[in-house]
Chains A and B, each alone.
Chain A
Amino acid sequence: MISSVLAIDWSNYWQQSIFRVLGAAIFVILGAGTFVIAFLFKMMSYMQSRLGPMEAGPHGTLQLLAEVGKWLQKEDLVPARADRTLFKLAPYIIMASTFLVVVVMPFGPDAYFVSVDTGIYLALALSSLSVLGIIIAGWASASKYSLLGGLRAAGQLIAYELPMVLAVVGVVIQAGTLNLQGIVAAQHQGEIFGWGGIGNPFILTQLVGFVVFLIATQAELAQPPFDMPVAESELVTGYMTEYSGMRFLLFFIAEFASAAVFAALAATLFLGGWAIPFVDLDDNVMNVVGPIVLFVKMMLVGALIFWVRFTFPRFREDQLQAFAWKALIPLALVNILATMVLKVAF
């Protein structure tokens, strides 16, 4: 494995690109899979005083493979009155928007696809494409439950884009750049009150921003307490009600891949990304260790997201909107103001 990695001719564009695409796909899928196993199957079960899946693999770790196999062999149903093209298209839009965010995410000093100067802006814009997929799924299913779920998603996901963007603006002001690689560097090389030991992970100075970003992420992923689009006890599965078999599996993977990608984004923005304190930014070993570090940080953020998910009931749609517009956005604006003032003052 190591020799095959070393045998790659890094100056060859095509070999590099294939490796990067594979690496990114593996990272996202592995992240999604680990999220499902560690949090959905095990952490949720332990919080409910039960064991979760135990049969497939040691302690049920291969349960995901069994689930994938189960979903694959189910009948592929398209409702009679559904709009066939749009119905089939919707999951792919969501998957595409999730996987595309990885294009701007840095995994190491040289391990990235592109390092654009508007990195985080591009990431947020790409991630908001999934709203389109959800609305298409809700309408094209020709079922009233799906329609309700899709419409709720439309309102909710668009409303919660704003707090997310505003929370990120605080980070951007502090880092001075929109480039994600630059944000990682700013955290690594920053100082807390003059001490540069562990750099300056923005979670310390931007705690309010971190909280707002996490809440907005929870809403973007349509997870409880913001899972009105998928309100299981009212709308069966909301916009996903009419999907079965492989198509539902795509939605499922997309949901957890989004969770993984957003958690990785939060780790990059607030926890320092792929960098660790005492190792130089340019060190070549970080090209291999960086993704692992990012993975670990992603799991930490994911643990927070899922802990909140399994504890709280869900908001009603109007309460959700009121919370976004009347509570989160003013909070994020105040955060930006404070960051601006403090950045100039210090």
Chain B
Amino acid sequence: MTDVLTEAQQLAYANAQAADGRVNVEVETEDGMTLNIGPQHPATHGTLRVVARLDGEQVVSADVICGYMHRGYEKLCEVRSYPQVTTLVNRIDWLGSFANEVPFILAAEQLMEIEVPDRAKWIRTILFEMSRLANISLFIGDLALQVGAQTPAFLAFRDREFVLNQIEAVTGGRFHPNFDRIGGLKDDLPKGWIADTKAAMVRIREFCDLMDDLVLGNEIFQMRMRGVGIIPPDVALSYGLSGANLRGSGVDWDLRRDSNIGLAYDQVDFKVWTHPDGDSYARSWVRVQEIRESTKIIDQLLDTMPSGPVMAKVPRIIKVPEGEAYVATENPLGEMGYYLVSKGDTGPFRVKIRSASFNNISIVPWLLKGVYVPDIIAILGSLYFILGDIDR
């Protein structure tokens, strides 16, 4: 075992040195100036670090360094019981938090071979779609903020409140519902919830129209986003992108329609929106159309809500039988999956969380070659990641 560093290690060390926020202004190196769009930055959606080598305003190469927010979820899950894991897992993608619980619960139910009552499936799907609404309405407001417009962000927060109020009315928590249980849900809907939710959906549709007027239809926004960050469909598939990033490149991939396990998507009609361009505008456009589609899905589900119990017959202390299961669902950020290994205990033996954002940002070094500095922000915004989802 020699202790001479290999060339790769030396380069990595030199890179690390250059990337630390030294204040030297290096304008004359061949590779260009290193700009550390560091963990503390108004635009990186959290603590993401992009080390970009710039030639003037153009990016020569970019490196993504994540992990500043690693909380050790997979290790934590090994020492928790199933209800406690549900509590923790809410906090991975904290904007659409109900959506994090669902694949885990579905995997556990798959191992236990439980059939969830219909009403629970319906309500689960409704809350899943509402988490999509909450998540993506913030996305479009935040994207407009990063591209420069200050008003749509506040309007997004204002209109998102309707969805959060409905989630709170049924689960008790706006951001961390902690409502899914193995075998069904914690509680049933309170009186008047269906009517209130329908009214909220009307407001969300108005919000989509507002975003069309103020953001998507704005010529300046289109100039900033069209043709920027084009991802060809085969590259997108090879890097493992998912969700609206994939659909914005024209790939018709939606797990809600294709692999429906335990949710009520086969009972509703919905359209999967794709856009052939593959640029940042396409991804934003697809997401706004998805919000509209979600409101229609929720309306259909509310109309056809079956009656019945919300919890199947499960023992008090849940022990999932031995086995392994992987369930992936179409979360707001992309495809999120849980690989659950159980040894028959009250808690999981090992949980591997396949989070959408981690794969989504793997394309960033490839994508950022040759773009301008403002385009970095536009591209990162349109790829839409949440740091909790990348780092877990």
Contact = CB atoms under 8 A, between A and B. Distances in A.
Interface in A80-106: 80-81
B267 interface: no
Interface string A297-335: 000000000000011111111110000000000000000
A142 B25 contact: yes
B43 interface: yes
Contacts of B35: 144-145, 148
B43 A233 contact: yes
A190 B337 CA distance: 74
Nearest to B42: A233
A234 B380 CA distance: 11
Contact of B25 (A144, A152, A315): A144
Contacts of B146: 233
Contact of A50 (B57, B154, B218, B373): B154
Interface stretch (A41-49, A129-137, A178-186, A266-274): A41-49
Contacts of B149: 224, 310-314
B148 A312 contact: yes
Contacts of A314: 147-149, 220, 224, 374
Nearest to A316: B374
B374 A231 contact: yes
A147 interface: yes
A313 B145 CA distance: 8
B374 A317 contact: yes
Question: Looking at chain B's contact residues, is the secondary structure mostly helix, strand, loop, or mixed?
Answer: helix
A310 B150 contact: yes
A48 B214 contact: no
A314 B148 CA distance: 5
Interface in A239-267: none
B367 interface: no
Nearest to A312: B220
Chain A, interface size category, equals 20 to 34
B57 A148 contact: yes
Contact of A224 (B25, B41, B148, B376): B148
A49 B36 CA distance: 36
B165 to A, nearest CB: 16
A234 B43 contact: yes
Residue of A44, A228, A234, A311 contacting most chain B CB atoms (<10 Å):
A234
Contacts of B150: 44, 48, 224, 310
Contacts of A318: 372
A79 B24 CA distance: 12
B224 A315 contact: yes
Interface string A204-248: 000000000000000000001101100111101000000000000
A134 B31 CA distance: 27
Residue of B42, B155, B377 contacting most chain A CB atoms (<10 Å):
B42
A143 interface: yes
Given A80-B23, A316-B372, A316-B374, A231 B148 contact: yes
Contacts of B377: 233-234
A52 B295 CA distance: 31
Contact of A49 (B23, B158, B221): B158
Contact of A313 (B23, B25, B36, B218): B218
Interface residues of B, number: 34
Nearest to A152: B57
Nearest to B153: A48
Given A79-B23, A147-B25, A228-B374, A311 B148 contact: no
Nearest to A314: B148
Interface in B126-169: 144-151, 154-155, 158
Residue of B33, B36, B57, B372 contacting most chain A CB atoms (<10 Å):
B57
Nearest to B40: A236
B299 interface: no
A310 B158 CA distance: 17
A234 B374 contact: yes
Contact of A311 (B33, B43, B151): B151
Residue of A47, A143, A313 contacting most chain B CB atoms (<10 Å):
A313
Contact of B42 (A236, A311, A316): A236
A219 B146 CA distance: 19
B378 to A, nearest CB: 8
Given A143-B23, A224-B149, A228-B374, A313 B42 contact: no
A47 B151 contact: yes
Contact of B148 (A142, A144, A313): A313
A233 B148 contact: yes
A317 B41 contact: no
Contacts of A315: 220, 223-224
A307 B43 CA distance: 24
B335 interface: no
A85 B373 CA distance: 30
B42 A225 contact: no
A313 B144 contact: yes
Which 5 interchain pairs have the tightest Cβ spacing?
A314-B148, A48-B154, A313-B148, A233-B43, A313-B147
Given A311-B149, A314-B224, 19 more contacts: A44-B151, A49-B158, A79-B23, A225-B148, A228-B374, A231-B148, A233-B42, A233-B145, A234-B374, A236-B42, A310-B149, A311-B151, A312-B218, A312-B220, A313-B144, A313-B149, A314-B147, A315-B223, A316-B375
Interface of A: 44, 47-50, 79-81, 142-145, 147-148, 152, 224-225, 227-228, 231-234, 236, 310-319
22 contacts: A48-B151, A48-B158, A50-B154, A144-B35, A144-B36, A228-B374, A233-B43, A233-B377, A234-B43, A234-B373, A234-B374, A236-B41, A310-B151, A312-B220, A313-B144, A313-B215, A313-B221, A314-B147, A314-B220, A314-B224, A314-B374, A317-B374
